Structure 1
Amino acid sequence: MPRSFLTDAMWAKLEPLLPPERGGMGRSRHPNRPMVEAILWRHRTGAPWRDLPEEFGPWTSVYTRFEAWTKRGVWQRILEFLRKEADLEWVMLDGTILRAHQYSAGKRGGSGTRRSDDLGVDARPRSI
């Protein structure tokens, strides 16, 4: 699949949260996975819907599916699932890996203080 973002493991978790690919009556719908890939591509790039690459199919089909799923709460359900399944271990910051810049201690040039003219501030009082 061109421009794929989702791995098979990711798709296996996501697929049960989506509506069935086959609609009720009428013609069959486009498969969900390319539609999700197209929606993710569009939101990842920030491109307008009309600039969706042709390999994803007609942009109107992708936009219609996105809007329908939004109205039905599909995206909300997906986000709730992802929030519960989040692996936040990598988000943890440890003080042993953080370093402060030398200026964070308020020292500059060894003097220990900063003059107002060093900061580009006019120290004269002003009236309104």
Structure 2
Amino acid sequence: VGPKGGRREKHPRRRIVDAIFYVVWTGCAWRQLPKDFPPWPTVYWYFTWWHDDGTVERVHDTLRGRVREADGRAAEPSAGLIDSQSVRTADTVPAGTRGFDAGKKVKG
């Protein structure tokens, strides 16, 4: 909520958030938002504004903490996982620059 004064918002913030969730959930393009949501440029503008000013990250971190606490765990995770993909290298790649994925037994 901004400072007092100015004109009234044309689209309720809840509808903006619902439209952002719709795009994330369905994977559709911004331009493909159904007409019952606010216009896509408006929704996209709010999304980029909230992303750039850190609002999206703060909401994510807060919700993650609440879900973890409701599950009886610490609010902050103690470990993380990184997944990667092994790509086979050509025999022409020098041995000193290529690795080996022991799990898949693949040069890469």
- Tell me how far 1:23 sits from its aligned partner: 6.0
Cα distance in 1 for partners of 2:41, 2:48 equals 10
Corresponding residue of 1:28: 8
Of 58, 68, 79 in structure 1, the residue corresponding to residue 49 of structure 2 is 68
SS at match of 1:35: helix
1:28, CA displacement in angstroms? Answer: 2.5
Deviation at 1:88, TM superposition (A): 3.7
Question: In 2 relative to 1, CA 25–38 (structure 1 residues): closer, same or farther, beyond 3 Å?
Answer: same
Residues 50-87 of structure 1, C-alpha deviation per residue, up to 9 Å, x if partnerless? Answer: 00001002111000010111111110110110111014
Count of matched residue pairs: 69
Could you tell me how far apart the structure 1 residues matched to 2:16 and 2:22 are? 10
Q: TM-score, normalised by structure 2?
A: 0.57
Q: Deviations over 1:3-47 (max 9, x none)?
A: xxxxxxxxxxxxxxxxx1x56654322211111000000110000
Match of 2:80 in 1: none
Call closer, same or farther: CA 1:50–1:84 in 2, change over 3 Å.
same
Where structure 2 has 5 or more consecutive residues not aligned to the other structure, the ranges are: 73-108
SS of 2:36's partner is helix
Letter in 1 for 2:48: E
1:54 and 2:35 matched: yes
With normalisation by structure 1, the TM-score equals 0.48
- 1:86-97 matched pairs, under 5 angstroms: 86=67, 87-88=70-71
Question: Where does structure 1 lack aligned partners over 5 or more consecutive residues?
Answer: 1-19, 90-128
Matches of 2:18 and 2:32, distance apart in 1? 15
Return the index of the structure with the highest Cα Rg.
1
More helix by share: 1
